[in-house]
Amino acid sequence: MNLSHLPLAGLLTELTTFNPTRVVGVVSYLAAGIAAAVAAKRGGNKVIWGLVALVLFYAAVDIQLGLRHRVAEGFSGAWTSLGLRDQRKPYQIAVLVGVGAAVGVGIGVLVYRLRRAGWAVQLAAGATGLTVALLGVEVLSLHATDALLYRSVPGPVMAIGYAWMALAGVVVAAGLVEGVRAWRGRRS
């Protein structure tokens, strides 16, 4: 049965096709979301850790369902309908630079505002900000960035899977540090 004519056919394909890179991203962000949720429950800075958990759980869902790819396809369709598909690169680069600058400033401000919160929550918030930026870069779908993110590296996982795993790993480690601090504080 061919379902390719259905509007959600791409989503069905995402859900039913085994993809090692996607599995790495989903598992990594679920683990990071759980670590952040535990840190929110047991450690300090409950609101920040809770927001980190929420964003990372969303990242896991987004990676599994390919939501950012649907948004990118929508933008691509809009460019095509406006007859600007071949002229979109300068606009994409401008948006990429603008978003990159905004994310950089945002992470800097967040880390500065959290300076009394401790390095673990700063690190988790920064890694979460970079996760959001990475998902945003995928939506822009510039050919050069796509080639870098989706390039094959040794093994079945593409480069972006390792980036997701590294960012999620930072949050897991920071959540563990926060949990140990909270546990030590309760023992004293």
Give the pLDDT confidence of 126-144 residue by residue, as tens digits: 899 899 989 888 887 777 7
| Count of beta carbons in the 10 Å neighbourhood of residue 46 | 12
Q: Provide the residue type at 97 as one letter.
A: V
> Is residue 119 a part of any domain in this protein?
yes
At residue 167, the pLDDT reads 97
At residue 4, the pLDDT reads 55
> Is residue 5 a part of any domain in this protein?
no
Kind and range of the H or E run holding 136 = helix 119-140
At residue 59, the pLDDT reads 96
> Is residue 110 a part of any domain in this protein?
yes
Q: Which has more pLDDT, 28 or 113?
A: 28
> Is residue 98 a part of any domain in this protein?
yes
Q: How confident is the model at residue 69 (pLDDT cuts 50, 70, 90)?
A: confident
Do 122 and 111 contact (CB within 8 A), yes or no? yes
At residue 14, the pLDDT reads 63
At residue 57, the pLDDT reads 97
Summary mean pLDDT of the chain? 84
At residue 169, the pLDDT reads 97
> Is residue 12 a part of any domain in this protein?
no
Q: Which residues contact 84 (CB under 8 A, 6 or more apart)?
A: 91
Determine the Cα–Cα distance for residues 78 and 72; give it in Å rounded to an integer. 10
Q: Which has more pLDDT, 80 or 41?
A: 41
SS3 at position 154: coil
- pTM comes to 0.81
> Is residue 17 a part of any domain in this protein?
no
> Is residue 15 a part of any domain in this protein?
no
Residue 47's domain spans which residues? 25-187
Q: Provide the residue type at 51 as one letter.
A: L
At residue 12, the pLDDT reads 64
Give the pLDDT confidence of 80-113 residue by residue, as tens digits: 888 777 777 787 778 778 877 887 887 778 777 7
> What's the structural domain count of the chain?
1
> Is residue 172 a part of any domain in this protein?
yes
Do 127 and 54 contact (CB within 8 A), yes or no? no
Determine the Cα–Cα distance for residues 103 and 107; give it in Å rounded to an integer. 6
End-to-end CA distance of the chain: 64
